[in-house]
């Protein structure tokens, strides 16, 4: 094989290797892009599911309160119905008692009427006797007159008693009529109360059904959220696994730092979330470097936005590395949609840097040597 042919073959091998490397990198980037897109989509779906579950939980809480109030209303109505029923029973007993009294007064009136009629008959009989009847009977006129007066006295007495009894009867009938009217009113009130109770029970039953459905819907959204969270965790694990592979001469190490927080995603002293890369970098800037650095834009403290946070506070932003500076990457396949920040621990002669960071490995500290910043997208340095 001549030299020219050997060079051609070598060149082809190099070209093939480059193509393979390029294809591998492209495939990796595409795979990471897909993973990030899936994660973003799943995160949105998770937010929606959690929000829906929270809304359903609030609806269930509201319904439970309404049902409790309806139960109280039903109990109060039952008490009113019982009270009204007691009043009806009392009035009915009074009406029954008055009816007996009226029967007694009617009987008395019948007797008095009979006695009065007999007295009237006697008066008529005495007044209609002739002189011959008096002579034949042996009665004197004086005797006949005394008997007539006696009978008339009985008539007056009977009429007086009859008037009193009649008045008592009229009073009793008036009382009975009033009681019957009151009973009718109470019967109507009880019917209204029973109708109200029935309507309230219907409302309660409907809300019970809605509550049951709402609780089921809440549970369904929570199950969906769990599944989505599991998928997100799985995708995140794949992304973290890709990070561990590193690039070029990069070496990923463990180790420890003085970072004080062990909690995850709780507010730290500088306006970031604990165990995230931003919290670690803020701790380093404030505690190790002794420079005040805080989140000047609450809700916008993501790593990709640190250049703006730095400029807000008068820090320099540059493309040149230096030890102790903070490197801030924009969003990318491996840096995630929030970007990434790390502390420059050393600047190497070949243009690479050594960095310390948090959450490159899941919520933990790591140290990476020989990092080529350009392998992870756009970046700048803050000091």
- Over residues 209-245, the pLDDT tens digits come to 999 999 999 999 999 999 988 887 777 788 788 888 8
20 band by pLDDT with thresholds 50, 70 and 90: very low
Fold of the domain spanning 63-228: Helix Hairpins (1.10.287)
pLDDT for residue 124: 66
Q: Please, are residues 282 and 294 in contact by the beta-carbon 8 Å criterion? A: yes
d(CA 380, CA 320): 8
The order of strands in the sheet holding 340-347 is 251-253, 364-371, 353-361, 340-347, 326-329, 379-382, 317-318
Domains 63-228 and 249-383 belong to one CATH topology: no
Q: Which residue has the higher pLDDT, 74 or 140?
A: 74
Domain locations in the chain as residue ranges: 63-228, 249-383
10 band by pLDDT with thresholds 50, 70 and 90: very low
pLDDT for residue 149: 77
Least confident of 79-88, 111-120, 308-317: 111-120
pLDDT for residue 151: 67
Cβ atoms within 10 Å, residue 100: 11
- Which of 11, 96, 43 minimizes the C-alpha distance to 239? 43
Its CATH class, for the domain covering 249-383, is alpha beta
pLDDT for residue 221: 93
Q: Please, are residues 371 and 324 in contact by the beta-carbon 8 Å criterion? A: no
pLDDT for residue 144: 57
Cβ atoms within 10 Å, residue 310: 21
Residue with tokens 């609030």: 58
d(CA 243, CA 237): 10
Per-residue model confidence as pLDDT tens digits over 112-165: 888 777 777 766 666 555 555 545 555 555 555 676 677 678 778 878 888 888
First to last CA, the chain: 59
d(CA 334, CA 231): 18
274 band by pLDDT with thresholds 50, 70 and 90: very high
- Which of 147, 159, 139, 157 minimizes the C-alpha distance to 122? 147
The pTM of the full predicted model, rounded to 2 decimals, is 0.53
pLDDT for residue 8: 42
pLDDT for residue 148: 65
d(CA 134, CA 139): 5
Least confident of 64-73, 248-257, 272-281: 248-257
């Amino acid at each position: 094989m001549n030299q020219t042919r050997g060079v051609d073959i070598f060149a082809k091998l190099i070209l093939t290797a480059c193509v393979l490397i390029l294809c591998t990198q492209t495939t990796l980037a595409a795979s990471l892009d897909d993973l990030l897109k899936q994660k973003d989509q799943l995160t949105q779906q998770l937010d929606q599911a959690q929000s829906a579950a929270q809304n359903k939980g609030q609806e269930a809480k509201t319904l439970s309160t309404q049902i409790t109030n309806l139960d109280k209303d039903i109990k109060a109505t039952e008490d009113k119905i019982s009270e009204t029923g007691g009043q009806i029973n009392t009035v009915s007993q009074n009406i029954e008692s008055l009816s007996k009294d009226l029967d007694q007064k009617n009987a008395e009136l019948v007797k008095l009427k009979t006695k009065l009629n007999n007295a009237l008959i006697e008066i008529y009989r005495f007044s209609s006797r002739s002189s011959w009847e008096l002579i034949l009977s042996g009665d004197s006129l004086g005797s006949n007159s005394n008997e007539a007066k006696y009978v008339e006295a009985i008539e007056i007495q009977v009429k007086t008693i009859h008037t009193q009894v009649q008045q008592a009867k009229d009073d009793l009938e008036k009382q009975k009529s009033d009681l019957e009217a009151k009973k009718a009113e109470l019967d109507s009130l009880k019917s209204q109360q029973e109708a109200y109770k029935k309507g309230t029970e219907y409302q309660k039953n409907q809300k019970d059904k809605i509550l049951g459905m709402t609780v089921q819907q809440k549970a369904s959204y929570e199950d969906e959220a769990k599944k989505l969270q599991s998928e997100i965790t799985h995708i995140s694990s794949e992304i973290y696994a890709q990070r561990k592979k590193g690039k070029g001469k990069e070496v990923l190490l463990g180790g420890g730092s003085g970072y004080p927080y062990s909690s995850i995603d709780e507010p730290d002293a500088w306006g970031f979330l604990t165990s995230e890369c931003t919290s670690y970098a803020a701790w380093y800037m404030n505690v190790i470097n002794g420079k005040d650095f805080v989140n000047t834009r609450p809700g916008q403290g993501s790593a990709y936005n640190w250049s703006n946070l730095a400029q807000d506070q008068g820090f320099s932003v540059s493309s040149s590395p230096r030890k102790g500076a903070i490197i801030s990457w924009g969003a990318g396949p491996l840096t995630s949609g929030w970007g990434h920040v790390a502390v420059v621990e050393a600047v190497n002669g070949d243009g690479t840097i050594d960095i310390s960071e948090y959450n490159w490995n899941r919520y933990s500290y790591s140290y990476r040597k020989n990092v080529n910043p350009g392998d992870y997208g756009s970046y700048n340095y803050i000091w």
